[in-house]
Amino acid sequence: MGDKILGFIKLAIFLLIIALLGYMGWQYLSLEIKNYQLVEEINKILYGEIRSDEYLVKDKVMEKLSNKGINLTYDDVNITKNGYNSCHVDFTYVDSITIPLINKSFYFTKEVNTTVTPQ
């Protein structure tokens, strides 16, 4: 009888660990998708505003970041324009995954470094 209970407890712990690892993998995948979508949306902004002043471009990028829940200061986002030939944006931000049962957070630094050149 005791062996069955012990076997059940081991199985329950094993399944819990597998579920937590799956949850963390899913959350990490969502972070990567969020970063990819952010880069694509910034590329659209840059391509549409390539002829605009870099301060206008920075304002639109900052608005997009705040809509995504990424709080950066104005100085954290670097924009470099080469006339009407190209526009470059780079910044880093921190995102996290939290394990629900033990409230342990894992932090990841994500970097956005993209250049748009009109054709």
Q: What's the predicted TM-score (pTM) here?
A: 0.80
pLDDT, one tens digit per residue, over 60-96 is 999 999 998 899 999 999 998 887 788 889 999 999 9
Quick one: pLDDT at residue 48?
A: 82
Is 119 a residue whose pLDDT tops 80? Answer: no
Q: Residue 51 — pLDDT band, cuts 50, 70, 90?
A: confident
The closest of 39, 17, 19 to 27, measured between CA atoms, is 19
Question: Cα angle at 48 between 37 and 53, to 5 degrees?
Answer: 115
Quick one: pLDDT at residue 46?
A: 86
Is 110 a residue whose pLDDT tops 90? Answer: yes
DSSP string, 27-43: HHHHHHHHHHHHHHHHH
54: which residues sit within 8 A by CB, 6+ positions away? 79, 80, 81, 87
Quick one: pLDDT at residue 3?
A: 83
